[in-house]
Chains A and B, each alone.
Chain A
Amino acid sequence: GAVVSQHPSRVICKSGTSVKIECRSLDFQATTMFWYRQFPKKSLMLMATSNEGSKATYEQGVEKDKFLINHASLTLSTLTVTSAHPEDSSFYICSARLGTEAFFGQGTRLTVV
């Protein structure tokens, strides 16, 4: 099946710094990618829809200026958590659709200390 690669898998950063997470579709082009946040033992919460060549669409309650999304090419979307705080610590997952199917990255565990 199609592969979506997410990097890094784990990152620890200090409060106030920014962290960038990359999501790549390795063997297909994705005009749309999705970014999710998942709390322990909870479901995936859609944060934003990343559209190649245009602005991302954010879900209600998600701060655009805090979670910057860039989809500069058909195979790469990035999520930057700016001025990170401990409450931003979470598991972030990206996804890309190929036809009807959705393929997920392996997730990024962000810990803000």
Chain B
Amino acid sequence: QQQVKQSPQSLIVQKGGISIINCAYENTAFDYFPWYQQFPGKGPALLIAIRPDVSEKKEGRFTISFNKSAKQFSLHIMDSQPGDSATYFCAASKGPGNQFYFGTGTSLTVIP
């Protein structure tokens, strides 16, 4: 059973545009929601993360929006650049030291 559902599977955005990736979860015990960026042949790297007591978190061009009542969270990439082309995974976990549950991934392509 997929604990975290992610959409879309792939996304093509023009340079300078906004990329939006959505995730939904069922387990209300989750208390940490990170987004990871992965380039081909590399391990995932933490991009930005949020806890459920905050509705939005912004770091540079990256913003997480979190809707606790809807059990959804999303990643917004402003002013998307070709260098942002990668696969993005959302994840969720409950408590420190426990496993992460990953979304299925979104392949983002930013065209010049």
Contacts and interface: CB of A to CB of B under 8 A. Distances in A.
Nearest to B107: A41
Tell me what chain A mostly uses at the interface: helix, strand, loop, or mixed. Answer: strand
Given A6-B43, A99-B96, A107-B43, A43 B49 contact: no
A101 B49 contact: yes
Interface in B90-112: 91, 93, 96-100, 102-105, 107
Chain B interface bracket (under 10, 10 to 19, 20 to 34, 35 or more): 20 to 34
Contacts of A41: 87, 105, 107
Interface of A: 1, 4, 6, 31-32, 34, 41-44, 46, 49, 91, 93, 95, 97, 99-107, 109
6 contacts: A32-B97, A34-B99, A41-B87, A44-B44, A99-B96, A107-B42
Interface of B: 32, 34, 36, 41-46, 49, 51, 87, 89, 91, 93, 96-100, 102-105, 107
